[in-house]
Amino acid sequence: MHRKPASESPHRSSTDDSLRKERAKSDDEVERRNDRAANMADAVVERARDEADEVLRVARDVEQRSPNPAQAQARGVADATIRHQRADADEKLADERRERTRALAALFALERELTDHHLLAERTRADVALKNRDDFLGMVAHDLRGFMGEIALRAALVVRASSEARGDARMRDLGEGIQRSTAGMKRLVGDLLDIAAIEAGRLQVQPAADDLARVLRDAAEPFRAAAGTKGIALELDDAPGTVFALFDHDRVIQVLGNLVGNAIKFTPSGGRITFSLRERGDEVQIAVADTGVGIAADKLERIFEGYAQLSPSDRRGLGLGLYIARSLVEAQRGRIWATSVPGAGSEFTFTLPRA
């Protein structure tokens, strides 16, 4: 799919125009204020000179009433000195203004350079995010087409098997295959809806006090069955008999489903997945550990980001599950993190507040 370069985006052009207009307005305002400050300074200097001239005029009037050649000569020297000092002061004032103008120009240039640098960095991040989103949507569309194609194929086989009367076992296998495909589509669509809700700030959770240990035990059975299809053992560590916490039952099951799903994907046959539940102060910790391939240390910081994959060549994860899991946990006032040893496995832990 062809995508127009970011530089040609009408939204970006509009943003650039707005930025140029705002900068021009800022420049005009700064220049106006500088002119006003300079005019005010000139007015103060002029007023001080007028007052000094008035004092001198009065002094000269007094001196003229009793003329004295020596005083007249001294007055001439004093007037010349004053004129010279005023000329020096005017020149220094002009130099100071020129220096201030140069300093402001240099400051503005530096500010613009820094602003442009930050804008470029933000644009680069935005471009990467848009590319990730487009790639993600392309993969989702591909996977949806795959699910739908499989459903169509299996439906055709069901029709053929039905007409040939092959027996109930064959029909059951085909029906189960259709159910798995439709379940995959349903999960994917649900993830897309959750992503939309997260990005729009409309993600809803309904926490209530409940026995988290019981929920974990109940959830272990269907998860154990899913792991068993790949030859993976799922174990539940000894946990307290009753642990009350504040959480949304369905959302916690969803988080566990995402974590277990990833563990199954990245754990080879013969591996093991372990659930554990621990009480820690005013919170409860739930951990899902596996003996899978593990995650490199430099990738751990990215695994909870939206639309991110650890490797472009590995499409087993769409970068949705962990992002949704983090959002769901944080919406319930919890935390989530991961530790891993490449080649030995990973452990994902999240917390929920105690009731």
Please write the tens of the pLDDT for every residue from 257-285: 999 999 999 999 999 999 999 999 999 99
Are residues 216 and 335 located together in one domain of the fold? yes
Looking at residue 208, its pLDDT comes to 96
CB atoms within 10 A of CB 209: 11
Q: Is the pLDDT of residue 3 over 50?
A: no
- Specify the amino acid at residue 36: R
Task: Quote the number of domains for the chain.
Answer: 3
Q: Which of 147, 171, 199 is the last residue of a domain?
A: 199
Looking at residue 7, its pLDDT comes to 38
| Cβ atoms of residues 189 and 226 within 8 Å | no
What mean pLDDT is predicted for residues 126-137? 75
Are residues 213 and 172 located together in one domain of the fold? no
Confidence of residue 306 (pLDDT cuts 50, 70, 90): confident
Looking at residue 54, its pLDDT comes to 72
Confidence of residue 6 (pLDDT cuts 50, 70, 90): very low
Are residues 213 and 349 located together in one domain of the fold? yes
Q: Is the pLDDT of residue 198 over 60?
A: yes
What mean pLDDT is predicted for residues 205-229? 92
62: in domain: no
Are residues 152 and 241 located together in one domain of the fold? no
Beta bridge partners, 236, equal 275
Q: Is the pLDDT of residue 55 over 70?
A: no
- Specify the amino acid at residue 69: P
Looking at residue 316, its pLDDT comes to 46
What mean pLDDT is predicted for residues 193-215? 87
Helix (H) or strand (E) holding 42: helix 10-64
160 lies in which domain range? Answer: 134-199
Q: Is the pLDDT of residue 22 over 70?
A: yes
Are residues 39 and 139 located together in one domain of the fold? no
311: in domain: yes
Are residues 246 and 312 located together in one domain of the fold? yes
Looking at residue 307, its pLDDT comes to 65
Q: What is the CATH number of the domain that holds 324?
A: 3.30.565.10
- Asked which of 36-50, 67-81, 103-117, 211-225 is least confident by mean pLDDT, the reply is 67-81
Q: Is the pLDDT of residue 318 over 60?
A: no
Are residues 184 and 253 located together in one domain of the fold? no
Are residues 244 and 261 located together in one domain of the fold? yes
Looking at residue 167, its pLDDT comes to 58
> Whole-number mean pLDDT of the chain?
80
What mean pLDDT is predicted for residues 9-36? 71
What mean pLDDT is predicted for residues 43-55? 72
Closest CA relative to residue 223, chosen from 252, 181, 244: 252
Are residues 306 and 184 located together in one domain of the fold? no
SS3 143: helix
Q: Is the pLDDT of residue 48 over 80?
A: no
Percent of the chain exceeding pLDDT 90 equals 30
Higher pLDDT, 215 or 240: 215
Please write the tens of the pLDDT for every residue from 95-130: 787 887 888 788 878 888 888 888 888 888 887 887
CA 296 vs. chain centroid, Å, equals 22
Q: What is the CATH number of the domain that holds 159?
A: 1.10.287
0.75 surpassed by pTM: no
Secondary-structure breakdown of the chain: helix, strand, coil percentages, each rounded to the nearest 5: 65, 15, 20
| Cβ atoms of residues 246 and 352 within 8 Å | yes
What is the rounded CA–CA span in Å between residue 103 and residue 119?
A: 24
344: in domain: yes
Looking at residue 259, its pLDDT comes to 95
What mean pLDDT is predicted for residues 140-151? 78
